[in-house]
Amino acid sequence: MFDTATQAETAKIGFEVAGVHPDRVQPVGFELTADGSTAFVALGPSNHVAVVNARSFEVEDYILVGRRVWHMAFNADRSLLFTTNGVSGDVTVIDVAARRPLKTIKVGRFPWGAAFRPVQGNPA
């Protein structure tokens, strides 16, 4: 973390996933909960998402997802987090409150980005 006014480093977060070589732990993106208290950090080829307390900068948990997690997006009420897993060709749906994956959905080759778009009008 950096203080934008002084450009000084104020905190450093270390990621250590059990059983994963440090070279494979590569933060590539993050999403914050609505209240800003928790950050979910995609850790690329480690195949995990880190759950970080955004106030203390402590890693609280790691969630195993598909292979090579890239980007993430919340649903409208931020109860679910969707990760795109490039190498495994799928999306993992994470229950944010429980901090666990609910299911994985095959979507095709190399999904990379993620965005939430609410349904407009009556979808029927």
**Does some domain include residue 82?**
yes
**Does some domain include residue 1?**
no
Residue with tokens 């914050």: 32
CATH of the domain at 82: 2.40.10.480
* Digit-coded pLDDT (tens) for 83-121: 999 999 999 999 999 999 999 999 989 888 888 887 776
Q: Choose among 21, 63, 61: nearest CA to 45.
A: 21
**Does some domain include residue 66?**
yes
Its pTM stands at 0.90
Tokens of residue 58, six digits: 């402590």
SS3 49: strand
* Digit-coded pLDDT (tens) for 46-56: 999 999 999 99
Determine the Cα–Cα distance for residues 21 and 119; give it in Å rounded to an integer. Answer: 41
Write out the residue range of the structural domain in which residue 69 sits: 21-106
In the predicted structure, residue 122 carries a pLDDT above the cut 70: no
Residue 5 — pLDDT band, cuts 50, 70, 90?
very high
Q: How many domains does the chain have?
A: 1
Residue 35 CB contacts under 8 Å (≥ 6 apart), including other chains = none
Determine the average pLDDT of the residues in 63-73. Answer: 97
